[in-house]
């Protein structure tokens, strides 16, 4: 579990994990802020814990860096990842353990992610979410009540599990954010590596977590930022294993402009409106504007081009 400057959240998450029905498991908290105060709190927490947490300081920035530090430290054959703003059903880990035992060919799995609203969601957001089995903007997922095992499975990093040997063979997560700067496609990149390999990915409905969602995420501005992050992910994925040269970048910029200029104009007119059509237009515009900005950065920044081309962030 990575954490960054949210000590209360981290301790709440550790507390929730103490009620797991799985008899024994390894619990690793990786502090991306390397906060001595949190280290001391974990030490006090462990004095009363059924499953004590191992505290690791990983000051190098990036959630993927923290997750990789935890993976290297872990000793189990299955790695389970979550975030610090999550609490759990008591059978969460047991559901994963049973699924991986029952399906030896399953490489990775995700589970149910339900919201724990810390403020009442606005009506427009509930309408926008209605009928969806997945809402990536808030990392929510509830596909079905039945176990699924397919080559097209998907997971979010706040509720996922993967066999350790496969995780290291694939080079772990791609990078995602460094502070407010979005570089790569994170766990989506790991999904893509599994898809390319033809691996089987499960959905374990009984592996239920609750994503704690504060009021500041229940805004149109937040959804725009999340969509912009996805636009950066799009361009990282587009050029991650392709030539990153000026002709290719300019050609992609032309394609983005050609398909998006109408959305950009409409989004300017519709800005702030929350009917479904206006929401979709504004979010498409935010995503494509971020795509164009990412391409521009690649054109002028050779260091960024080198980071995008890097294939393995775990073993290197």
Q: Does residue 42 sit in the same domain as residue 178?
A: yes
pLDDT for residue 127 is more than 90: yes
Q: Is the pLDDT of residue 116 over 80?
A: yes
Kindly state whether residues 172 and 236 are assigned to the same domain: no
Residues 17 and 144 in one domain: yes
Q: What is the pLDDT of residue 287?
A: 98
The half-sphere exposure of 31 on its side-chain side, counting CA atoms within 13 A, is 22
The angle, 0 to 180 degrees and rounded to 10, between the axes of the packed helices 276-300 and 246-270 is 150
Give the residue numbers spanning the domain of 56. 2-217
Is the pLDDT at 178 greater than 90? The verdict is: no
DSSP 163-229: EHHHHHHTTSPPP-EETTEE-S-HHHHHHHHHHHHT-EEEEEEEEEEEEEE-GGGSSHHHHHHHHHH
Are 110 and 257 within one domain?
no
218-274 pLDDT tens trace: 999 999 999 999 999 999 999 999 999 999 999 999 999 999 999 999 999 999 999
Phi, psi of 141 (to 5 degrees): -155, 130
* Residue 314 forms part of a structural domain: no
Q: Are residues 194 and 244 in the same domain?
A: no
Cα of first residue to Cα of last residue in the chain, in angstroms, is 22
DSSP structural state of residue 313: S
Nearest to 111 by CA among 63, 165, 156: 156
pLDDT at 100 over 90: yes
pLDDT band of 182, cuts 50, 70, 90: confident
Looking at 217, 247, 277, the residue that finishes a domain is 217
Please say whether the beta carbons of 118 and 211 come within 8 A.
no
Residue 98: partners with Cβ closer than 8 Å, 6 or more residues away: none
Domain count, the chain: 2
DSSP code string of 18-49: TT-SSS----EEEETT--HHHHHHHHHHHTT-
Convert the pLDDT of each residue in 297-309 to its tens digit: 999 999 999 999 9
pTM: 0.94
Q: What percent of the chain has pLDDT over 70?
A: 100
Residue 279 and residue 199 in one domain: no
150 and 272 inside one domain:
no
Residue 180 above 80 pLDDT? no
212 and 73, same structural domain? Answer: yes
**pLDDT tens per residue, range 39-84:** 999 999 999 999 999 999 999 999 999 999 999 999 999 999 999 9
Domain assignment of residue 316, yes or no:
no
Give the helix/strand (H/E) hosting 114.
strand 106-117
């Amino acid at each position: 579990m990575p954490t960054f400057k949210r000590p209360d959240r981290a301790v709440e998450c550790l507390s929730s994990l103490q009620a797991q029905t799985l008899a024994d498991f390894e619990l690793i908290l990786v502090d991306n802020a390397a906060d001595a105060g949190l280290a001391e709190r974990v030490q006090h927490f462990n004095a009363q814990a059924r499953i004590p947490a191992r505290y690791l300081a990983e000051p190098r920035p990036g959630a993927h860096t923290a997750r990789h530090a935890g993976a290297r430290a872990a000793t189990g054959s299955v790695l389970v990842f979550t975030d610090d703003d999550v609490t759990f059903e008591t059978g969460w880990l047991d559901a994963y353990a049973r699924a991986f035992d029952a399906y030896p060919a399953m490489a990775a799995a995700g589970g149910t992610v339900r919201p724990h609203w810390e403020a009442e969601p606005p009506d427009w957001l509930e309408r926008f979410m209605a009928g969806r089995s997945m809402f990536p903007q808030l990392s929510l997922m509830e596909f079905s009540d039945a176990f699924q095992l397919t080559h097209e499975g998907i997971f979010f990093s706040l509720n996922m599990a993967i066999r350790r040997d496969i995780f290291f063979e694939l080079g772990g997560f791609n990078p995602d954010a460094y502070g407010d700067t979005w570089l790569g496609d994170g766990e989506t990149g790991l999904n893509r590596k599994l898809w390319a390999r033809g691996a089987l990915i499960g959905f374990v409905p009984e592996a239920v977590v609750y994503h704690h969602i504060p009021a500041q995420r229940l805004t149109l501005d937040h959804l725009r930022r999340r969509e912009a992050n996805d636009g950066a992910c799009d361009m990282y994925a587009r050029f991650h294993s392709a030539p990153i040269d000026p002709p290719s970048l300019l050609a992609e910029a032309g394609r983005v402009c050609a398909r998006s200029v109408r959305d950009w104009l409409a989004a300017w007119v519709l800005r702030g409106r929350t009917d479904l059509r206006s929401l979709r237009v504004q979010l498409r515009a935010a995503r494509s504007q971020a795509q164009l900005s990412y391409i521009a950065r690649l054109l002028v920044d050779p260091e960024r081009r080198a980071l995008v081309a890097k294939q393995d962030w775990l073993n290197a």
